[in-house]
Amino acid sequence: MWSWRILGLISFAFGAIGLFLPIWPTTVFWIVAALAFARSNPAWAEWIYARPKIGPPIRTFVETGALSHAGKAAALGGMGLSAAVIGFAFWKRPVPLSIALSILGFGALFVMTRPRAPSDS
């Protein structure tokens, strides 16, 4: 129980950084926080779900595993931007470059294979 709460608090804090730092992802960390809070303190998960712009898509993903078209586009766009930055930073270092791009590739594959959120239909 405490381990879930600690994971939720850390994930929530990391996600909060994204509110002030545009290149930092908020949603993915708050999804982890909501999942952890659902197991340790459901009221805290409900607080995340109640956030006007970010809460409903997080609830949809946690409950159904589905992503909206806009959510998929934003995630893939962010991964594409990350790939460009990583490529620029590590183009002379093939091992870290291939590891980072492989991780991004698996992440992109995961996002592309998620079902479409019911509100997108």
Is the confidence at residue 87, as pLDDT, over 70?
yes
pLDDT tens digit sequence for 64-77: 999 999 889 988 99
pLDDT tens digit sequence for 94-103: 999 999 999 9
* Both tokens assigned to 64: 């159904």
Distance CA 57, CA 52 (A): 10
Sign of dihedral through CA atoms 47, 82, 10, 99? positive
Q: Residue 72 is which amino acid?
A: K
pLDDT tens digit sequence for 37-66: 999 999 999 999 999 988 999 999 999 999
Distance CA 62, CA 54 (A): 12
β-strand partners of 116: 67
Overall pTM > 0.85 = no
